[in-house]
Amino acid sequence: MAYYTFAFFLLFSSSHLFVRPTRSSILPSVPVDRSTACNLTLDPDFCNTVLPHRGFHNLYDYGRLSLAKSLSSAKEMLDSINTFLARPSVLPPNAILALQDCRLLSGLNVDFLTAVVNTLNDTGCLLDHQAQKLHAILSAILTNHQTCYDGLQVAASAWFVRNLGTVPLSVCSKIYGLSLSLFKNWIPKQTCSSHKGQAHSRSPHRRALLFHEVGVGRHGELPLRMSAPKRELFERWSGRRLLQATDSVLVHDVVVVSPDGSGNFTTIGDAVKSAPNNLKSSNGYHLIYVAAGVYREYVVIPNHTTYLMMIGEGINQTVITGNHSVADGWTTFHSSTFAVMGEGFVAMNMTFRNTAGPIKHQAVAVLNGADLSTFYGCSIEGYQDTLYTLSMRQFYRDCDIYGTVDYIFGNAAVVFQSCNVYSRLPLHRQSNAITAQGRTDPNQNTGTSMQFCRFLAAGDLTSSDGTTKTYLGRPWKKYSRTVIMESFMDSLIDPAGWLPWNGKFALDTLYYAEYNNTGKGSDTDNRVTWPGYHVISSDDAMNFTVRNFIQGDNWLPHTGVAYDSGLF
């Protein structure tokens, strides 16, 4: 790959004025006029108001310019929110909660954009994993902003319209989308990665590590590598002897949470607060071992608490539970019992629960916005909006997930593997929709992929009168994307398979697909006939595997969690 400089090309041969490159022919280093660059974006009119109107620049420099404007807009957004929150007496309570969500999300966007700009300033070309990371971040920035906007509209729409006109919500959304679009167009097809040429073809299914016979999780003991004192502490508390393993998970430190006071902490929240900031994967995990017990607390793992691993004693043994809901005045974002934003988070052998029930509407058990995050052997339990896969790249393996309406929702790039997906009994006359994927921009790398999963009825739905309809999903946002492959669907799945959100909204822009599923509910003969619905081939399905969709081969081996890289 050529080395692309950041210098603007102010001089341009007049002969190029007669050539209008196509999308496929424009290289990041080739200077083009503003109009040509803007025609590659979703909103050329807006793009033409942002990019310089004189001279010729290359896509790389146009992209960097839009990112600088995105960062400026994010800071302006955060300043506006802080200005309103500085005067809480003039705000209705629901607006305060929504603005607090926006402050957190906008702060994340400022941090994310600063990191992107610094990365591009520090390197001449991107390694493949860097490019994938930046794509995930730029997708998440748009998602964070949309989440803020949605929360304000739902929680305080009338007040919002009267008083928040100066907050640059629509401008921020457009400039973030422009940056994402330009990034997608100038990122090289082949990067300067030292791994160029590595095989990425279809491969047989495989596991990351061999697990030992006894211990953590449903498939054996996680091979942990730590210092002798920490190893002794873990073995004493867990009652598990850790077998030596050459290929094992590095542990930086271990603390114990026990409700009887015999550990380092009695609450999970206090243990999280004690964790070091900004660990890197090379440092090893900060491991929190959570003894059996019911923990009635609301846990938040912030953005700066990275590479934290949390291991419990098993499903229904180590339980974190809460009951916050929208009906009781919380925003959807802040209704979560457990929320994680810190990169590299791993949870194992735990139950996360929201007990608000179906009558309380949106009530999140787990909210996950953490890049390279993993849940293994966990149970995530709620009713409406159980699991909020907010953003970034995520992986769930051997988990049980319970809910009713839109109970796996959000806009992450996420793969579920070998999970049990249990639909519960909703309110009278409600239908179940298992997924509600929220992609708002076709350039986002996001979507929900479910492989080797089992779609089943929970006990209360099985014992009902059988009138409840259950669907695989519905399009929450315009470019909603969900793929279900090599999974078992029981008879609870309606023959139509998928449910509209509102009339014809998104039916021609969504991407819903099924591949090689089994069970009574998997018959595609009577599925919806929307333009965006597909029964796909193995070649298309490969795009949504762990290897290709979330780049799992690059990071899942470090977690020690079993996974399948490709198709079966």
pLDDT the model gives residue 60: 85
pLDDT the model gives residue 57: 81
Task: For residue 22, name the pLDDT band (cuts at 50, 70, 90).
Answer: very low
pLDDT digits (tens, 9 = 90+) for 489-509: 999 999 999 999 999 999 999
- Using alpha carbons, list the distances in angstroms from residue 140 to 100, 109, 111, 167, 376: 18, 8, 12, 20, 23
User: How far is Cα 508 from Cα 103, in angstroms, rounded to an integer?
Assistant: 34
Which has more confidence, 373 or 232? 373
- Residue 118: in which H helix or E strand, if any? helix 93-122
pLDDT the model gives residue 80: 87
- Quick one: what percent of the chain has pLDDT higher than 90? 69
Structure tokens at 248: 């094992």
Q: Which of 122, 147, 131, 141 lies closest to 179 in space, CA to CA? A: 141
User: How far is Cα 34 from Cα 12, in angstroms, rounded to an integer?
Assistant: 13
Sign of CA dihedral 493, 549, 557, 197: positive
Structure tokens at 543: 């795009």
3-state DSSP assignment of residue 510: coil
| Residue ranges of domains in the chain, CATH in brackets | 34-186 (1.20.140.40), 404-567 (2.160.20.10)
Which has more confidence, 222 or 202? 222
- Using alpha carbons, list the distances in angstroms from residue 480 to 95, 178, 206: 28, 19, 29
Please compute the mean of the pLDDT values over residues 290-299 and round it to a whole number: 97
Calculate the CA 210 to chain-centre distance.
Answer: 27
128 in Cβ contact with 553 (< 8 Å): no
Q: Of the ranges 103-107, 124-128, 236-240, which is most confident?
A: 103-107
- Residue 445: in which H helix or E strand, if any? none
pLDDT digits (tens, 9 = 90+) for 168-214: 677 889 999 999 999 988 775 445 654 443 434 334 344 333 332 22
70 in Cβ contact with 113 (< 8 Å): yes
Span of 14-18, 77-81, 240-244 with lowest mean pLDDT? 14-18
**CA Rg value for the chain:** 24
pTM score? 0.89
Which has more confidence, 236 or 345? 345
DSSP state of 553: G
- Residue 435: in which H helix or E strand, if any? strand 432-437
Task: For residue 94, name the pLDDT band (cuts at 50, 70, 90).
Answer: confident
pLDDT the model gives residue 45: 95
User: How far is Cα 350 from Cα 529, in angstroms, rounded to an integer?
Assistant: 40
**Can you give the three-state secondary structure of 141-203, one letter per residue?**
HHHHHHHHHHHHHHHHHHHHHHHCCCCCHHHHHHHHHHHHHHHHHHCCCCCCCCCCCCCCCCC
pLDDT the model gives residue 241: 56
User: How far is Cα 179 from Cα 73, in angstroms, rounded to an integer?
Assistant: 12
Task: For residue 466, name the pLDDT band (cuts at 50, 70, 90).
Answer: confident
Considering the candidates 33, 398, 406, 564, report the single residue annotated as catalytic. Answer: 406
Please compute the mean of the pLDDT values over residues 40-44 and round it to a whole number: 92
567 in Cβ contact with 485 (< 8 Å): yes
The β-bridge partners of 384 are 362
Whole-number average pLDDT of the chain:
86
| pLDDT reading at 435 higher than 90 | yes
3-state DSSP assignment of residue 238: helix
Which has more confidence, 362 or 252? 362
Q: For residue 406, indicate whether it is catalytic.
A: yes
Q: What are residue 156's phi and psi, to 5 degrees? A: -150, 50
**Amino acid sitting at position 59:** L
- Cα of first residue to Cα of last residue in the chain, in angstroms, is 34
pLDDT the model gives residue 212: 29
Strands 366-368 and 224-225: unpaired
In this structure, the number of other CB atoms found within 10 A of the CB of residue 518 comes to: 12
Please compute the mean of the pLDDT values over residues 461-486 and round it to a whole number: 95
Residue showing tokens 């994010």: 74
Span of 2-6, 106-110, 340-344, 466-470 with lowest mean pLDDT? 2-6
pLDDT the model gives residue 242: 53
| pLDDT reading at 21 higher than 60 | no
Q: Please enumerate in sequence order all residues whose Cβ is within 8 A of that of 337, keeping only pairs 6 or more positions apart, or say none.
A: 298, 299, 320, 321, 322, 324, 352, 353, 354, 364, 365, 366
pLDDT the model gives residue 58: 84
User: How far is Cα 65 from Cα 236, in angstroms, rounded to an integer?
Assistant: 56
Q: How many helices (H) and strands (E) are present in the chain, helices listed first?
A: 12, 27
pLDDT the model gives residue 503: 96
pLDDT digits (tens, 9 = 90+) for 256-270: 999 999 999 999 999
